[in-house]
Structure 1
Amino acid sequence: MRVLADRLRTLGVPVDTSTRRRAEYSYDASNYRVPPSAVVFPRSVDDVVAVVTVCSDTGIPLVSRGGGTSMAGNAVGPGVIVDFSRHMNRILDIDETAGVADVEPGVVLATLTRVAEDASSGRTTFAPDPSSKNRATVGGALGNDACGNHSVRYGRMSDHVHEIDLVTADGFRLTAAQQGLRATDPDDAAAAARAQQLDAELTALAGEHLFEFRTELGRIQRQVSGYHLDHLLPEKRFDVARALVGSEGTCAVIVGARVELVPRPSSALLVCLGYDDVVDAARDIGTILEFSPAAVEGVDAAIVETMRLRRGENSVLGLPVGNAWLYVDLDGDDLDSVAAAADALLDKLRRNGRLVDGRLAADTTERASLWRVREDGAGLSSRLASGGESWPGWEDSAVAPENLADYLQDFRALLDRHGLQGVMYGHFGAGCMHIRITYDLRTEEGRQVFREFTHEAARLVVRHGGSLSGEHGDGRARSELLPVMYSARMMSAFRAFRTIWDPQGILNPGSLTDPARIDDDLALADVPERTWRTHYDLHPIEAVRPDGARPQHTPAPWVHAVQGCIGVGRCRADSGGVMCPSYRATRDEKDSTRGRARVLQEMVRGARTIEQGWKSEEVREALDLCLSCKACSTDCPAGVDMATYKSEFFSHYYDGTRRPVSHYSLGWLPRWLRLTGLAAPLVNAVLRTSLAKRAAALGGISPDRVFPPFASRRAWKKAVRDALRGRSGSTPVVLFVDTFTRGLRPEVAGAAARVLASADQQVMSCSADACCGLTWISTGQLDTAKKKLSHAARTLDDGTDRPIVVVEPSCAAALRKDLPELVPTEAARRVAARVHSFASYLDTMVRNGWTPAPAQPLPNEIVLQTHCHEYSVFGAGIHRRILTAAGVDDVRDAVGCCGVAGNFGFEKQHHDISMKVAETSLAPALRAADDDSAVVTDGFSCAMQVAQIDVSAPGQHLAELLDPGPRMSMNNTISEEESA
């Protein structure tokens, strides 16, 4: 390995052999863990040739990797991992006339689709759309023959391949086309000779196995298992390109492709159908297919319940009555005819007698909500609302659509015999089911059940004429089972095909031929039993069966928490949601939520990997660029909360060790604000001198940051008192004015009080010295944080159920979420249940009929920067509803983290990353805004970043924007309470 690394570095190829990097790439989205020896990030085809050549010379295995979202274990392996997603991710050409896109293997599928549609003004698109399309790459989709939601209409990835550029295991650059192979460079005589040799050997192989290729392959739409050797048949024109699709990187390394584009229908409607169960839904597939749908997707109740638990009731909109649902996408060139087809479909399904309820999802928000439930199915089903866990392994079987109902009925009986439960979702219209199962992979007994059940499941799907894999490939999960599905002669042909391409067997060993056992290399096996003391209460919900038995072994809470990441990789997406801001800035796996979680998972494995546990420098490095934005706790389908894990780890890492100075300057900010409040004019005068920047640098604060003026300690009280003079209301509410608002923008407290009073709220301000402990939480000073939160709980637990409205959203989030997790008392839970952010409370009032009445006319356009903590704890879309109710026509949401995130963006070492994060959403939104637009930034951090980017567009708190002003006349009493 040292020889390989030295040779690659000599050639200028980026190679990383660090323990942390190897930990990040030891996993994909499957059940497996195989640590590599090195990770390479090629920048060009020449880099790839160099890597392949050195691997061939040394006999070291090589595994190609795109987004790393494989559920079959075909993106992990020993030796060298070659990650194409980081650099080789360009779209080289879009030829609308020819209907072809020329791309590098690391291009994300959704990016290709978007660019293709933009280039053709919406006339053409790239069709394959697996649920992981916003992070899965073209190379990965070619590797496992990905399909997607619209495969009923558009088929598999192999149906959209024109040519594939390859580097062979012996280092030649070839192009696989629809009628054989050629040298990619026409002047490369040696490559041309190798292409002729391969053509001859493949032709001979097809001639020897004509019967098997014609009778055992291509029998159903989703037959992905094995190699697709039927494309070598004469009647299929010896299409080597399509024969290589689905070969899982075992034959050659893909370095480019020409893929075909398809016309894009101009009109579409989503029909949502509710059934009692998935078997009833499957029995109606034949009727639905009569209407030529583009997609027929399904989910069961377990996924929907988990979505609502994790993201709130409003996260699932528009579902009809039922316990299982189908989404039917109908499209065409004329909306009226599509609508008529939808009505006819609903009428016919009602006559069938199985449909419980059905409706058209015409609203775009509803459609987006419904599709997100389906697309996040893998993550949502991993840790269910009912408790317990489910895992892949048999998540990808497929049968002919007409056999689906009978197959599912028999499959459920098989689950019952083994005492397992299956969470079902997937491509009903193509007969492909994604079923995650409640295996207990942590115990020897559970792993034996997993093995026995999977072998029986393989025999069952074959009896129904189906395929072990319908989309994800075989990999480590199913390759051992291929002899159940195929004859001995076919298996011999598979081995011969692979050997023709890779005689040494260095490419992705363990997949398809000569596989390991399906229960080897399981990630949950052999994790040491150890008690990890934590400050946070991380105990999971425990599932208990009706007979009282607990179906799964649950490890220590810290271990269970960090193992929540299953690798689906939504944190690597560049659109949709907020996570992961640092990854969007750096495009480095180590800065993704998944990368950090994988390093933490290696940490709990103990001495064989990351040895130092809580004192691990590798883990500290992995967590360094986590902004603690908490977006992952909502956006991650598996509910990974990296901000909590970072805080917990830092509390132990720095225990007994000197902390960074910024942990004292910024982490103790509430203490310093109490002092500055005593001498605010003097402090502000000092801030205007050059001394301030030098002092900031000594305190670990970036000298490039603009400091806000400090307020006197009485300014916020006066602002609230003046706001409430002459006003009262009938609904009591506690206004919690947090430390940031008190010390840095007291005027917001007054505006918030006026807005609440204008809505008939009897405002009582909490002037007691209570603090949410946020700055201590974010820097991992949890002993102090718990003391602050305990005091806050005692102060605010006043024996009433009055809402507590918190001005600063990050403080509101800390009181709602961190308080009961760090202080697990009844008082803390009572207080947390009463806490609202200012915006979330106004949203409730708007829903109850209140209309904001600001004193000043609102601009037609508003740029909205929602604080990440507001987004993650109180939900998305809150501000938009309020502003719409106030009459704002154009709300432009700068979806994403501002980049400051409390102390992070003020720290010297993080300033540059902070500004890069801002460039992913906030800065472009500010540049695109009209001159007379307003910028709403409820979070103090966000307001500071806006000021840093554009001093001409200061951020305003929502309360300031909606401030009804002193002109408002109400009753003549002041309602102010000096304690909670």
Structure 2
Amino acid sequence: MIQRDNLTRQLYAQDASMYQEFPEGVSFPKSGEDIRRLVKKANEDKFTITARSAGTSLAGQTTGGGVIMDVSRYMNQILTLDGEQHIAHVQPGVIRDTLNREAAKHQLLFGPDTATTNRCMIGGMIGNNSSGSYSIKYKTTREHTLEIEAVLSDGSTAIFKPLTSEELEEKKKLENLEGHIYRSMLRLIERNRELIQNSYPHPEIIRRNTGYALDKLCEMQPFDPNGRKFNLCELLCGSEGTLAMTVSARLNLSTLDQHKLVVVPQFETLEEAMRAAVEIVNFDPAAVELVDHIILNATKGNIEQRKNRFFLEGEPNYILITQFEGNDPEELQKKAEQVSAKLSEKSLGYAYPIIPEEDKMKRVWELRRAGLGLLMGLGSDGRSPSFCEDTAVRVQDLPEYVKEFRTILDKHNTKCVFYAHASVGELHLRPQIDITTETGLNTMKTMADEIADLVKKYNGSLSGEHGDGRVRAPYIEKILGREMLPVLRQVKEIWDPEYIFNPGKIVKPKPIDQDLRFSPSYQKPEPETVLSWRKEGDFGSAMELCNGAGVCRKLAESGGTMCPSYQATKDEKDSTRGRANVFRQVFAGENPAGYESEELKEALDLCLSCKACKSECPANVDMAKMKTEFMNGWHQKNGSTLKERFFADAAKVFPLASITPKIANKVAGSAIGKKVLEGVFGIDSRRDLPKFANQTFRGWFKKHRRNGAVKSDEKVVLFVDVFTNYNDPEIGKSAVSVLEHMGYEVLIPKAMETGRPQLSKGFLDEAKSICGEVLEEFTEYVEAGIPVVGLEPSEILTVRDEFLELCSDEQLPLAEKLAGQSHLFEEFVARNKSRLSPKAQNQTVTLHGHCHAKALVGNDPTVEALSAVGFTVDVLETGCCGMAGSFGYEKDHYDVSQEIGGLVLFPTLQKQKDPLVCAPGFSCRHQIKDGVNIKSYHPAELIHRSLS
């Protein structure tokens, strides 16, 4: 029932906050009954429980020293969704976006919209009373939670919902913990009502989550005869799992507006932007989001987010992403124009682009949502601990509040990220402080005090949505006053007298600087490496990049590729975040296990090295690169196996097999052959190995050179990899034909490998040697300025990526030039498409992009090249196919490989009738063949067949 192994404890020692605390163990309940049994056991064995779903909390709510209860793996079902009543009944592990995809079928949505909606879960949203970008329209989770089924601290169950006066009287009569809660809470409010109303933040502040929501209970019957029905759900929302464990919830769904439109005013100064926000809210927007220059600059260094900067005019320091929603598009356009006119009239801002296109609006919001992860991934020079993350004041107070906040920043000689929810007076404020130094840590503690005083001055809330947790709980006294602390403790003890549920959060907190992930006592890892780690600075810095934002926990249905194994298993150890956390833990400290860590090897086992994290992770964590360095170190300590060497040695084995290809194919395809391959090399017998061609590409090309190959002053080097040469020579032939059609003389180098298989398996010394050999051979091409074109994406992109880390400092200038001259085949064709003369045709091709290409280049060049020869291209929104080089061939990985393929790729292709499929990757084509029995083609083959 409780997993207590070291790896699991390491995985759950941190969330997205600045804290790290190793739990006793982790539980994965499958039902309310499982939760009830866990709570009973906690009472018997005297351990505590901290509830957790996605673990994206910023205040340390989901870290704890007892048992972590993770509801995300199993309790993730939408139990019912009533489109007529606008009600959804869900388990706590349901992802917000998953709920909204189902709700959209009924033209409904769950309104609260955090930046983490593709992985945050309803249980966490209830715990934190989450809201998000649209809180000016939809308010908070509290306003949409109708009913909560919960397990109480004694293991009993209760359902909390709005109660009539008669129902409330019946609850008070119950002779159990539930009855005690109702009786005691009513008495508590009655005795302290005036104190509560005088102590809590201004009621105009929509997002006020400081302490327990006692001020909301004061608004209800019987305390206000005209108020809402008494409903303890409103107290549980924002209670951070300290009062009860959520089993399920009934949620109110809102009607989905048919139209929306975005206008993005752009500013030179923060003062302008804040004054503009005050003006904009008068036009009834659905959202007004501030993004500052620190985040905008960070988008330049992120492959994925660079594409989303299209709407920026010049280099604004601040922007306000403003969305209007409704059912009349003309009215929305009118509002946007009125906003632009008003701001221009008041000389607020210099540009006001209006964006009505749905796909472009989506890209604007993707840039906004990436903000947190981007700024948390700025490295040690940009450390910004989340200690004053989301203070909230009234909107009209925002300009003066920000002015005074900046005075505090100046006083401490630091700068700050300003972004988020300007529409409701809440900004995410992230001062840059390096708390790994004593000076930085003391600065953070001093500023936390001063900022709490400033919030109190404006009668604001210390937490607008992310909760008090550990980081803000020590300052509740400053905001609500000393007299309120005993009242808050009474609330906790009414519900949970033994402090079983999430202790140390909201009440009785530890000091802000205890259990920090990074602190003056932190020892940065400094392991020996083969790769240079030039971009990150060193391997230790790469291990510190992950910030816990958990973008890698999104599911396949949300789009993107990261993290394919997590999408299949939903196990934290298979996420980039989980692996990164284990990396840091096993390499840091006085006695690190480092390259000998069994736990890290296990966590990396299902990493497909797809590179999606390199572009999709906002902190730019490159787990494929980290894995290859670790596996190299592991081999140095422990040696390697025949299974690990088999695919890495393909260039040595394939020439022998190609001498008698028919015999090799027959043996490999026979039952006995498959059994031997499985037993000796670990190749799953359910797989068919790629067949060897009767004639290699190189054998064909020698004859082609003698029999009429194009000679030209314009030359191109065609890099033909091992697999194309021995298994798929037709692709090489097609590529030669296309390039010669374009007027180029094709040169074939001796090299057939760039070290991709060696990198995948962690043989870095061999990969480094191959890199050196390729650089030496290609020097003449580089000096002559001859472009190098590759057919297998993973091979040619190794030249553009890993070569820059494998080469020596002396080789780096040459490697950089070669990288600049290297192209995917389809990239080169797209750039020179004017040389093509295609036949007229009208055919649709379905494109499944290669993971490395999507991460480093994108699908656009392939689309452009295929379109140039007349194809209509349907780009599949697929992630990794699941094969990933040798991964899917291995017996230990076959099932997961098929599960990954079955997430999106297989079912999408199965729905199509006789699709013409393009898959640039060798492994992808074989996975598609094995998974759905459809032949797919390399772009070179399709382009070749289309030329006249």
Q: What's the TM-score once normalised by structure 1's chain length?
A: 0.91
Of 174, 198, 212, the residue aligned with 1:227 is: 212
For residues 855 and 99 of structure 1, the distance between their equivalents in structure 2, rounded to whole angstroms, comes to 54
SS in structure 1 at match of 2:147: strand
Is residue 2:68 matched to residue 1:81? yes
Superimposed CA distance per residue, residues 418-467 of structure 1 (whole angstroms, 9 cap, x where no aligned partner): 22221222111111111233221222222112211222222223223322
SS in structure 2 at match of 1:26: coil
Measured at CA, do residues 97 and 218 of structure 1 come closer, stay the same or move farther in structure 2, by a change above 3 Å? Answer: farther
1:323 Cα offset (Å): 2.1
Q: Contact 1:143–1:249 at 8 Å: present in 2 too?
A: yes
SS in structure 1 at match of 2:900: helix
| Amino acid paired to 1:818 | E
Measured at CA, do residues 385 and 79 of structure 1 come closer, stay the same or move farther in structure 2, by a change above 3 Å? Answer: closer
Of 226, 237, 245, the residue aligned with 1:245 is: 237
SS in structure 2 at match of 1:734: strand
1:248 Cα offset (Å): 0.5
Using the TM superposition, name which of 456-465 and 622-631 deviates more.
456-465
| Amino acid paired to 1:230 | D
Q: Contact 2:866–2:939 at 8 Å: present in 1 too?
A: no
Summarize the alignment of residues 460-609 of structure 1 with structure 2, pairs less than 5 Å apart.
Answer: 460-525=454-519, 526-529=521-524, 531-539=526-534, 557-574=538-555, 575-606=558-589
Measured at CA, do residues 191 and 23 of structure 1 come closer, stay the same or move farther in structure 2, by a change above 3 Å? Answer: farther
For residues 715 and 751 of structure 2, the distance between their equivalents in structure 1, rounded to whole angstroms, comes to 21
For residues 821 and 190 of structure 1, the distance between their equivalents in structure 2, rounded to whole angstroms, comes to 71
Alignment partner, residue 553 of structure 1: none
Superimposed CA distance per residue, residues 714-747 of structure 1 (whole angstroms, 9 cap, x where no aligned partner): 5246359749946567754332222221222111
Is residue 2:294 matched to residue 1:339? no
For residues 258 and 396 of structure 2, the distance between their equivalents in structure 1, rounded to whole angstroms, comes to 30
| Amino acid paired to 1:59 | K
Superimposed CA distance per residue, residues 919-947 of structure 1 (whole angstroms, 9 cap, x where no aligned partner): 0121111111122x211110000011011
Q: Contact 1:72–1:478 at 8 Å: present in 2 too?
A: yes
Measured at CA, do residues 232 and 721 of structure 1 come closer, stay the same or move farther in structure 2, by a change above 3 Å? Answer: farther
Superimposed CA distance per residue, residues 511-531 of structure 1 (whole angstroms, 9 cap, x where no aligned partner): 111101111110013333553
For residues 350 and 812 of structure 1, the distance between their equivalents in structure 2, rounded to whole angstroms, comes to 50
Superimposed CA distance per residue, residues 40-96 of structure 1 (whole angstroms, 9 cap, x where no aligned partner): 000111110011111122221110001100011001101110001111111111122
For residues 731 and 335 of structure 1, the distance between their equivalents in structure 2, rounded to whole angstroms, comes to 54
SS in structure 1 at match of 2:638: coil
Summarize the alignment of residues 355-754 of structure 1 with structure 2, pairs less than 5 Å apart.
Answer: 355-384=349-378, 388-525=382-519, 526-529=521-524, 531-539=526-534, 557-574=538-555, 575-606=558-589, 612-697=593-678, 698-711=680-693, 714-716=696-698, 718-719=700-701, 722=704, 725=708, 727=710, 732-754=715-737
Q: CA RMSD in A?
A: 2.5
Summarize the alignment of residues 793-832 of structure 1 with structure 2, pairs less than 5 Å apart.
Answer: 793-798=775-780, 799-824=783-808, 825-832=812-819
Alignment partner, residue 306 of structure 1: 298
Measured at CA, do residues 679 and 308 of structure 1 come closer, stay the same or move farther in structure 2, by a change above 3 Å? Answer: farther
Using the TM superposition, name which of 380-389 and 641-650 deviates more.
380-389
1:354 Cα offset (Å): 1.6
Measured at CA, do residues 890 and 822 of structure 1 come closer, stay the same or move farther in structure 2, by a change above 3 Å? Answer: closer
Is residue 2:188 matched to residue 1:205? yes
Identify unmatched segments of 5+ residues in structure 2. Answer: none
For residues 645 and 179 of structure 1, the distance between their equivalents in structure 2, rounded to whole angstroms, comes to 55
1:964 Cα offset (Å): 5.0
Over the matched positions of the two proteins, sequence identity in percent amounts to: 32
For residues 134 and 72 of structure 1, the distance between their equivalents in structure 2, rounded to whole angstroms, comes to 20
SS in structure 1 at match of 2:79: strand
SS in structure 2 at match of 1:448: helix
1:587 Cα offset (Å): 1.0
SS in structure 2 at match of 1:645: helix
Q: Contact 1:275–1:281 at 8 Å: present in 2 too?
A: yes
Is residue 2:98 matched to residue 1:98? no
Is residue 2:779 matched to residue 1:786? no
Superimposed CA distance per residue, residues 780-828 of structure 1 (whole angstroms, 9 cap, x where no aligned partner): 0111110011111222233144332211001122111111112142222
1:475 Cα offset (Å): 0.6
1:101 Cα offset (Å): 0.8
Alignment partner, residue 975 of structure 1: none
Using the TM superposition, name which of 727-736 and 362-371 deviates more.
727-736
The aligned length equals 926
For residues 180 and 57 of structure 1, the distance between their equivalents in structure 2, rounded to whole angstroms, comes to 36
1:568 Cα offset (Å): 0.7
Superimposed CA distance per residue, residues 245-266 of structure 1 (whole angstroms, 9 cap, x where no aligned partner): 1011111111111111111111
Measured at CA, do residues 875 and 386 of structure 1 come closer, stay the same or move farther in structure 2, by a change above 3 Å? Answer: farther
Measured at CA, do residues 189 and 305 of structure 1 come closer, stay the same or move farther in structure 2, by a change above 3 Å? Answer: closer
Alignment partner, residue 925 of structure 1: 908
Using the TM superposition, name which of 210-219 and 504-513 deviates more.
210-219
Is residue 2:272 matched to residue 1:280? yes
Alignment partner, residue 260 of structure 1: 252
Q: Contact 1:665–1:700 at 8 Å: present in 2 too?
A: no
| Amino acid paired to 2:125 | A
Measured at CA, do residues 497 and 182 of structure 1 come closer, stay the same or move farther in structure 2, by a change above 3 Å? Answer: farther
For residues 927 and 662 of structure 1, the distance between their equivalents in structure 2, rounded to whole angstroms, comes to 33
SS in structure 2 at match of 1:395: coil
1:26 Cα offset (Å): 0.3
For residues 631 and 880 of structure 2, the distance between their equivalents in structure 1, rounded to whole angstroms, comes to 22
Q: What's the TM-score once normalised by structure 2's chain length?
A: 0.94
Alignment partner, residue 853 of structure 2: 870
Superimposed CA distance per residue, residues 751-786 of structure 1 (whole angstroms, 9 cap, x where no aligned partner): 2233334445x2432322252100010000111110
Measured at CA, do residues 22 and 385 of structure 1 come closer, stay the same or move farther in structure 2, by a change above 3 Å? Answer: closer
For residues 150 and 921 of structure 2, the distance between their equivalents in structure 1, rounded to whole angstroms, comes to 50
Alignment partner, residue 42 of structure 1: 29
Is residue 2:887 matched to residue 1:904? yes
Is residue 2:935 matched to residue 1:948? no
Of 136, 146, 162, the residue aligned with 1:152 is: 136
Superimposed CA distance per residue, residues 292-336 of structure 1 (whole angstroms, 9 cap, x where no aligned partner): 111111212222222222216434222233221111111111112
Measured at CA, do residues 844 and 228 of structure 1 come closer, stay the same or move farther in structure 2, by a change above 3 Å? Answer: farther
Superimposed CA distance per residue, residues 365-387 of structure 1 (whole angstroms, 9 cap, x where no aligned partner): 32222111111111111233996
Measured at CA, do residues 289 and 98 of structure 1 come closer, stay the same or move farther in structure 2, by a change above 3 Å? Answer: same
Identify unmatched segments of 5+ residues in structure 1. Answer: 1-13, 543-556, 969-980
Using the TM superposition, name which of 697-706 and 532-541 deviates more.
532-541
Superimposed CA distance per residue, residues 179-218 of structure 1 (whole angstroms, 9 cap, x where no aligned partner): 389999x9x9997643222111101110111112223335
Q: Contact 1:736–1:805 at 8 Å: present in 2 too?
A: yes
Measured at CA, do residues 407 and 716 of structure 1 come closer, stay the same or move farther in structure 2, by a change above 3 Å? Answer: farther
Summarize the alignment of residues 305-324 of structure 1 with structure 2, pairs less than 5 Å apart.
Answer: 305-311=297-303, 313-321=306-314, 322-324=316-318
Q: Contact 1:809–1:938 at 8 Å: present in 2 too?
A: yes
For residues 388 and 928 of structure 1, the distance between their equivalents in structure 2, rounded to whole angstroms, comes to 47
